[in-house]
Amino acid sequence: MKKLFIITGDYSGDIHAGRVAEILKQKYPSLEIEGIGGENLKSAGVKLFTNQSKMGVVGLTPKILIDHISLGKRVVDYITKDFKPDMVLLIDYGAFNLSVSKILKRAGIKTFYYIPPQVWASRKWRINTIKKNIDKVLCIFPFEVEMYKSYGIETHYCGHPLVKQLPEKANRDDFFEKYGLDKNKKLVSIFPGSREFELHNLMKVFIKAGEKLRENHSDIQFCVSHAPNLSDKVYNKYLKHTDFKVIKGNNQALLSVSDSLILASGTVALEAALYQVPMIIAYKGPWLFYFIYLLVRCIKMVSLPNIILGKVTVPELTQDKCTVKNIVEETEKNLYDTSIRNERISDLGEVKSKLSEKYSAEEVANQIVENI
């Protein structure tokens, strides 16, 4: 009996892992699968070595580092000495998975990497680790194929998972009625991130920008996306004195019915692009982390739509540019400057055409079945 071990370390990775596992169960019923993941992987019938719920913590505290080192040791001991799989599938979660890959290579275990680190964006030296330790990269952006192959790394382009997995646009009238929104007003939605420190850094400037926009235009209303991993208390702390509506558990529908978006970057920007909703990226963090980012980055653009298009269509307001004035000005362009709005919507329409219509999870499953 063939064996596969899957490793992922955060919420989005668990979603991708769960879909791959479901397809594998259909295509290869006798395949024994274990792994590190969350509820999605578990629901797909995979036996979990440990739950990844605590692995998505961000930071460099001694405890976090010690916990990750300890987990890494335990998992590689289990993989190499007990489970002994025919293949390991790594999914996203770069720092941890690249460290594990070194030991898997020494143990002679075939290792594929789905959604590898974005070495084209920052820390390009990691491509050497990938070349040494990964047998095949299963990438999700078309421009990655040529880059990996130029380093002599075997690569298969699977297509981006969002293209097939993103739901159709929600019905605007139904959504507005459900959440008590005014159908005669424009909707600006705020996605401040999914980590508490991001809300701490961003919510005050976002709220002030919203209040200024409302002062300038009476036909605007605001919604704020509630990340599933954060408590209501976190949002109430910032929004209790506003009439901004908090939308929980319906983020993609919210994206699709909005007239303009204020985003803290991340994958949500690609989702918004696929819905062709004009947006701005507004983000700031501790200056030390930003300085380190400047040292390791390989490209100047930060949002996926701009990177895919090769030009700045989505305004990127980072660090000292993340001000009330700039957020207001760019959002007003998205809402009221017809020429700019139409141009940005048209550009965003090109994003989907540059991404494949392949069903990414099925491509991954096929690669495993063919190579395990």
Paired tokens of 221:
């209303």
Helix spans in 217-323 (H): 232-239, 251-257, 268-274, 287-296, 304-309
> pLDDT per residue over 306-349, tens digit each?
989 989 999 999 988 999 999 999 999 999 999 999 999 999 99
Residue with the two structure tokens 């095949």: 136
Q: Do 110 and 212 fall within a single domain?
A: no
Q: Do 199 and 314 fall within a single domain?
A: yes
Q: Do 145 and 269 fall within a single domain?
A: no
pLDDT higher than threshold 80 for residue 294? no
pLDDT for 91: 97
- pTM for the whole thing? 0.80
Q: Do 100 and 189 fall within a single domain?
A: no
pLDDT higher than threshold 60 for residue 64? no
Q: Do 234 and 153 fall within a single domain?
A: no
pLDDT higher than threshold 60 for residue 62? no
> pLDDT per residue over 248-280, tens digit each?
989 999 999 999 999 997 789 999 999 999 999
CA angle 20, 25, 30 (to 5 degrees): 135
Q: Do 192 and 76 fall within a single domain?
A: no
Q: Do 228 and 143 fall within a single domain?
A: no
CATH number for 344: 3.40.50.2000
- Distance CA(165)–CA(156), nearest Å, equals 20
How many structural domains compose the chain? Answer: 2
pLDDT higher than threshold 50 for residue 58? no
pLDDT higher than threshold 80 for residue 365? yes
pLDDT for 69: 73
Task: Report helix, strand or coil for 77.
Answer: helix
> When comparing pLDDT for 290 and 13, which is higher?
13
> pLDDT per residue over 27-38, tens digit each?
999 999 999 999
The average pLDDT across 123-128 equals: 84
Q: Do 201 and 346 fall within a single domain?
A: yes
Q: Do 346 and 363 fall within a single domain?
A: no
Q: Do 186 and 56 fall within a single domain?
A: no
> pLDDT per residue over 79-121, tens digit each?
999 999 999 999 998 889 999 999 999 999 999 999 998 876 5
The average pLDDT across 205-230 equals: 94
In a domain, 249, yes or no: yes
Q: Do 10 and 141 fall within a single domain?
A: yes
pLDDT for 59: 47
Q: Which domain holds residue 57?
A: 3-160+357-371
